[in-house]
Amino acid sequence: MYSFKELQNIANETLKNLNFEKEPLALYTPVKYVLEVGGKRLRPVLTMMSANLYSDNPEIALKEATGLEIFHNFTLLHDDIMDKADLRRNMPTVHKKWNENTAILSGDAMMIVAYGFFIGSKNPRSNDIFSVFNDTALKVCEGQQYDMDFEKLNVVTEEQYLEMIRLKTAVLLAACLKIGALAAGAPIDECDKLYEAGINLGLAFQLQDDYLDVFGNTQTFGKNIGGDIASNKKTYLLIKALALADHDEKMELEKWLSFSGEDLNRKVVAVTEIYKKLGIRELAKKKILDFSEKSKNILNELTVEKNRKKELENLIGQLIDRSF
């Protein structure tokens, strides 16, 4: 069985060998920049790791893994524009380093390149694989739209939020696991179980992201801490805080939500203290653990030998305990 590091190296080497040093440079240089600034390569690793459950050659899903990683980075590029983010992986975002028009067009090019990796496959399940990818791509857009819609709503429920992150984040991780298994010829019911495991992993992963945005640190997280608080983003933490706050605490929270001063750090510190007082930190960690345990339990149902599942189980544990 291949380790996370081995699969990560395969993904990195494959992306490094893609030719983006071509004209027009103004289109392709930002693409090269985005793919070179790093990242965990979680999605291609999950794809190949899933394939490795059923095949001794995880590179049977390398083409699809590469397409999924490029698609993921395309979504980040466009998300950063919509979120007005300055940093991504501790580096300037494309629209900051260049401009918004460049970021939009280079992102469009990345999406088209990603689709190219799903065309012309000789895998007998290529139609099924493409269908999963195409359905996932649309769901990610639906999730992003819900995320933007939430900005205009005064109240967002926990259920609405979880559905949004299921679409925006979890379905792509689920697709990686399912596509890898499909490429390796796994039984359909096993592919479906891996998809469900991926959904629960994705929910835990995004909730951990919300948690780290408040309780992490910039150096390891790769983004400015408190960005969600500063922008009034309706995360699980804020939604839970508004639901649990008494009258005075809710008034205090709403005061900071309407804060329009320049010293946003004051707002971040104040809201973080309210979260701590309400026990939001502990509630978030429990929710993360619940989803990660569901993911692990589904993996236990797979018919492959336990030793073949070890790398994937370890990865899920590391993702939930991460500080990045």
Q: Is the pLDDT of residue 290 over 60?
A: yes
Write down the pLDDT at residue 174: 99
Residue 152 tokens read as 């205009």
pLDDT at residue 89 in the model? 86
Dihedral of the CA atoms 105, 39, 194, 130 (nearest 10)? 30
Average of per-residue pLDDT values in the chain: 95
- Res 297: pLDDT: 96
Preceding peptide of 92 cis, ω within 30°: no
Question: For the residues 35-43, what does the mean pLDDT come to?
Answer: 91
Measured CA to CA, the distance from residue 130 to residue 67 in angstroms comes to 11
221 band by pLDDT with thresholds 50, 70 and 90: low
Q: Give the mean pLDDT of 166-192.
A: 99
pLDDT digits (tens, 9 = 90+) for 296-308: 999 999 999 999 9
pLDDT (tens digit per residue) in 108-163: 999 999 999 999 888 999 999 999 999 999 999 999 999 999 989 999 999 999 99
Q: What is the pLDDT of residue 320?
A: 81
Looking at the chain, the whole-number percentage of residues with pLDDT higher than 70 is 97
pLDDT the model gives residue 85: 86
pTM of full prediction above 0.85: yes
Walk me through the domains of the chain, giving residue ranges and CATH numbers: 4-320 (1.10.600.10)
- Report the C-alpha gap between 231 and 292 in whole angstroms: 28
pLDDT class of 321 with cuts at 50, 70, 90 = confident
Terminal C-alpha separation, the chain: 25
Assign 250 a pLDDT band (cuts: 50, 70, 90).
very high
Please determine, for residue 219, whether its predicted confidence score (pLDDT) is greater than 90: no
Assess whether pLDDT exceeds 90 at residue 207: yes
With cut-offs at 50, 70 and 90, classify the pLDDT of residue 84: confident
Residue 133 CB burial class (10 angstroms; 0-12, 13-18, ≥19): buried
Given a cut of 70, whether residue 323 has pLDDT beyond it is: no
Q: 309, 21, 46, 6: which is closest to 175 by C-alpha?
A: 46
Of the listed ranges 165-169, 176-180, 223-227, 309-313, the least confidently predicted one is 223-227
- Cα distances (Å, whole numbers) of residue 247 to 233, 237, 242, 250: 21, 18, 10, 5
Least confident of 143-152, 213-222, 304-313: 213-222
For the segment 277-293, the average pLDDT, to the nearest whole number, is 96
**How high is the pLDDT of residue 220?**
61
